[in-house]
Chains A and B, each alone.
Chain A
Amino acid sequence: MKNTFRDTFDLYDWDTLEHDIYGFSEADVKNVLAKDKITLDDFKVLISPAATPFLEQMAQRSHELTKKRFGNTIQMYIPMYLSNECQNICTYCGFSMTNKIPRKTLSDAEILKEVAHIKSLGYDHILLVTGEANRTVGVSYLKHAIALVRNHFSNISIEVQPLDQEEYETLITEGLYAVLVYQETYHEATYKIHHPKGKKSNFNYRLDTPDRLGKAGIHKIGLGALFGLEDWRVDSFYTALHLKYLQKTYWKTKYSISFPRLRPHQGEVQPKVEMTDKDLVQLICAYRLLDEDVELSMSTRESETFRNHIIKLGITSISAESKTNPGGYAVEPQSLEQFEISDERSTDAIKEMIQSQGYEVVWKDWDRSYVNSF
């Protein structure tokens, strides 16, 4: 009896997967693209270097599938950073404990000031973000923050430290809709190098977080790897494996995938593996071909040009005008960012860009009245 994803994870070996992915031929890709139903094994082929010449074909199919399932719509969301306190050392993050920066956690009044600014931009779906500081920004703080903002937003997601199942249940009762939790890399040894200290250094606890979320009955789980730490192709296979496992195990939950690429930040680490724009497009299309229903999300980490063109390639939700520092919208615009964003256009400019491509901008696609009854 399998209890968590770790059991499935252990059936695979990184080096073998890497060998497979880099060993496919053009004929393998053609065979996969001739199929209607794409399996995980096929996904491996689609993210391989051999599939690069077939990018246009993949993009066309991704566009069609996305349009059929999601229509001509793109959802808008915005992150709101509540705190930059962190008790972890992560080599790639501006909030890392070793970075000597002023730490800030928003008070009630500051949260509401930020909310007022965000609401004035038109947003109804919000993503609350913190560092990982359980002692000061733990469940009771998060519970309070959700209660504080829930009358202003239809849809509340969080991206915070991994929690226990009961803690998630508490937050869901308060009105939490989704949790984003990225494994960063599925390569255990590399993971340890980048997360040497703090609770985050526990690879397994993080790996099993979506299981705890599924058991808690969350509506949506967001997955992803941080591209740059390891080979993106192998990491993406593991992410897809994770996705498929979760879909089968926690069938009432929705899933989304994000595509964070390393961005400049305080205490910089250079990407070990470069992921080009072309690579990222290939990956987005491969996910869509694998799964017609998974939500694919695009943040402001990416450039204007890239985001303009990605709208039609499979993406279903996008953020704009993001600030990655606590109080960044209205309270303390100068506090330290987690990372630099790339696309700095206003919400209105992004809205117009989306509409000009024949898509409706969707601000609201959930209702807080959908109270859970577990």
Chain B
Amino acid sequence: MKDTLKIADKTFTSRLFTGTGKFSNTRLMRESILASESELVTVALKRVDMDNESDDMLVHLKENHINLLPNTSGVRTAKEAVFAAQLAREALKTNWVKLEIHPDPKYLLPDPIETLKAAEELVKLGFVVMPYIHADPVLCKRLEEVGVQCVMPLGAPIGSNKGLKTNDFLEIIIEQSNVPVIVDAGIGAPSHAAFAMELGADAVLVNTAIAVSQNPVAMGKAFKMAVEAGRMAYNAKLAPVKKHAEASSPLTSFLN
């Protein structure tokens, strides 16, 4: 049986989701995304000209296997997020939205209160809501209760490349969640992505680490391989970590 990931009405073969910011040009962005084999790519609503069908970024993302995920980066309140999501739905013909509400423009840390409010409203309006949040297990459950289709807890501040600084909480979230858990933000190396997958995350979202690397195309592929390896390891059930050594040649075997 194929190990696919189902979110709402879509089934994904790849568990690597990617972004579109920070690339040196849209051609390179496209090549990198293709190399990563990502099937879900997030686009900042504020970066695209929604009235223009030949918007450079959108044109470069026109591929059958690539699903666009508009995000609300830039909004500061639930009210603004709901309005932005409705515009994106109309312009990009998708009811999927990555809900990002970070009133703090410095660290871009998500506002849990506004996010929960917006998520509840957007679900009622028929959106597939993917909320970007702090790694807060209780908030994840609250979001699940209002009907989001997945949760996207952060590993570290956006763009920091620091890896999974929140892994103790990610473990709890993964253990408790009834919806897919996608680790978003802070993943800076393929090894971080592999680690997230080994923990049991359903997918990861990576942008800066790919876009700002010396070779974004190769890095896109490296992340693809890391995510696959991490997922394979998770499915294969990692050997348990033990506090004491367990010799493969026991000292007392001579007694037998």
Interface string of B180-210 (1 = CB under 8 A from A): 0000000000000000000000000000100
Interface string of A357-373 (1 = CB under 8 A from B): 01110101111011111
Q: Is A355 interfacial (CB-CB < 8 Å)?
A: yes
Known A68-B159, A247-B106, A364-B46: A369·B83 in contact at CB below 8 Å: yes
Interface residues of A in 69-115 (CB under 8 A from B): 69-73
Q: Is B104 interfacial (CB-CB < 8 Å)?
A: yes
**Which residues of chain B are within 8 angstroms of A73 by Cβ–Cβ distance?**
21-24
Interface string of B71-88 (1 = CB under 8 A from A): 000111101100110010
Q: How many residues does chain B have at the interface if contact means C-beta atoms less than 8 Å apart?
A: 32
Q: Is A54 interfacial (CB-CB < 8 Å)?
A: no
Interface string of B92-123 (1 = CB under 8 A from A): 00000000000111110000000000000000
Known A71-B208, A369-B84: A362·B47 in contact at CB below 8 Å: yes
Known A71-B208, A72-B211: A360·B46 in contact at CB below 8 Å: no
- B24 and A367 contacting across the interface, CB-CB below 8 Å: no
- B83 and A71 contacting across the interface, CB-CB below 8 Å: no
Residue of B nearest to A372 (CB): B80
- A370 and B74 contacting across the interface, CB-CB below 8 Å: yes
Q: How far is the CA of A254 from the CA of B48 in the complex (A)?
A: 21
Known A293-B105, A367-B46: A69·B159 in contact at CB below 8 Å: yes
Q: How far is the CA of A254 from the CA of B46 in the complex (A)?
A: 15
- A71 and B212 contacting across the interface, CB-CB below 8 Å: yes
Set A70, A247, A373: member contacting B80, Cβ < 8 A: A373
Set B23, B49, B75, B106: member contacting A360, Cβ < 8 A: B23
Known A72-B22, A251-B104: A364·B80 in contact at CB below 8 Å: no
- A364 and B49 contacting across the interface, CB-CB below 8 Å: yes
- B23 and A71 contacting across the interface, CB-CB below 8 Å: yes
Residue of B nearest to A255 (CB): B105
Q: Is A154 interfacial (CB-CB < 8 Å)?
A: yes
Q: Is A67 interfacial (CB-CB < 8 Å)?
A: yes
Set B21, B45, B106: member contacting A293, Cβ < 8 A: B106
Q: Is A253 interfacial (CB-CB < 8 Å)?
A: yes
- B80 and A72 contacting across the interface, CB-CB below 8 Å: no
- A373 and B77 contacting across the interface, CB-CB below 8 Å: yes
**Which residues of chain B are within 8 angstroms of A251 by Cβ–Cβ distance?**
103-104, 106
Chain B nearest CB from A246 CB (Å) reads 11
- A72 and B208 contacting across the interface, CB-CB below 8 Å: no
Set B46, B48, B106, B212: member contacting A68, Cβ < 8 A: B212
Chain B nearest CB from A334 CB (Å) reads 34
Chain B nearest CB from A69 CB (Å) reads 6
**Which residues of chain B are within 8 angstroms of A370 by Cβ–Cβ distance?**
46, 74-75, 80, 83-84
Q: Is B161 interfacial (CB-CB < 8 Å)?
A: yes
Chain A nearest CB from B163 CB (Å) reads 14
Q: Is A252 interfacial (CB-CB < 8 Å)?
A: yes
- A154 and B105 contacting across the interface, CB-CB below 8 Å: no
Known A68-B208, A71-B21, A367-B74: A254·B80 in contact at CB below 8 Å: no
Residue of A nearest to B80 (CB): A370
- B106 and A359 contacting across the interface, CB-CB below 8 Å: no
What secondary structure prevails in chain B residues at the interface with A?
loop
- A252 and B103 contacting across the interface, CB-CB below 8 Å: yes
Set B44, B49, B105: member contacting A254, Cβ < 8 A: B105
Q: How far is the CA of A124 from the CA of B49 in the complex (A)?
A: 10
Q: Is B25 interfacial (CB-CB < 8 Å)?
A: yes
Q: How far is the CA of A73 from the CA of B207 in the complex (A)?
A: 14
Q: How far is the CA of A69 from the CA of B212 in the complex (A)?
A: 9
**Which residues of chain A are within 8 angstroms of B50 by Cβ–Cβ distance?**
367
Set A70, A124, A366: member contacting B22, Cβ < 8 A: A70
Most buried by B among A68, A154, A359: A68
**Which residues of chain B are within 8 angstroms of A358 by Cβ–Cβ distance?**
24
Q: Is B26 interfacial (CB-CB < 8 Å)?
A: yes
**Which residues of chain A are within 8 angstroms of B23 by Cβ–Cβ distance?**
71-73, 360
Interface residues of B in 155-176 (CB under 8 A from A): 159, 161
Set B26, B76, B87: member contacting A252, Cβ < 8 A: B76
**Which residues of chain B are within 8 angstroms of A67 by Cβ–Cβ distance?**
212
Q: How far is the CA of A362 from the CA of B25 in the complex (A)?
A: 10
- A71 and B22 contacting across the interface, CB-CB below 8 Å: yes
- B211 and A366 contacting across the interface, CB-CB below 8 Å: no
- B24 and A72 contacting across the interface, CB-CB below 8 Å: yes
Q: How far is the CA of A154 from the CA of B48 in the complex (A)?
A: 10
Q: How far is the CA of A124 from the CA of B166 in the complex (A)?
A: 38
Q: How far is the CA of A88 from the CA of B224 in the complex (A)?
A: 61
Q: How far is the CA of A124 from the CA of B84 in the complex (A)?
A: 18
Q: How far is the CA of A265 from the CA of B227 in the complex (A)?
A: 60
Q: How far is the CA of A72 from the CA of B104 in the complex (A)?
A: 22
Chain B nearest CB from A280 CB (Å) reads 25
**Which residues of chain B are within 8 angstroms of A364 by Cβ–Cβ distance?**
46-49
Q: How far is the CA of A56 from the CA of B129 in the complex (A)?
A: 46
Q: What are 19 A-B pairs at a CB distance below 8 A? A: A69-B159, A70-B22, A71-B22, A71-B208, A72-B25, A72-B211, A73-B21, A73-B23, A154-B49, A251-B103, A253-B105, A355-B25, A359-B24, A360-B23, A364-B48, A366-B46, A367-B74, A370-B74, A372-B76
Beyond A68-B159, A362-B47, 6 additional contacts (C-beta under 8 Å) are A72-B212, A293-B107, A364-B47, A364-B48, A367-B50, A369-B84
What is A's interface to B at a CB cutoff of 8 Å? 67-73, 124, 154, 247, 251-254, 293, 355, 358-360, 362, 364-367, 369-373
8 closest A-B pairs by CB:
A71-B22, A72-B24, A254-B105, A373-B79, A252-B103, A367-B46, A358-B24, A293-B106
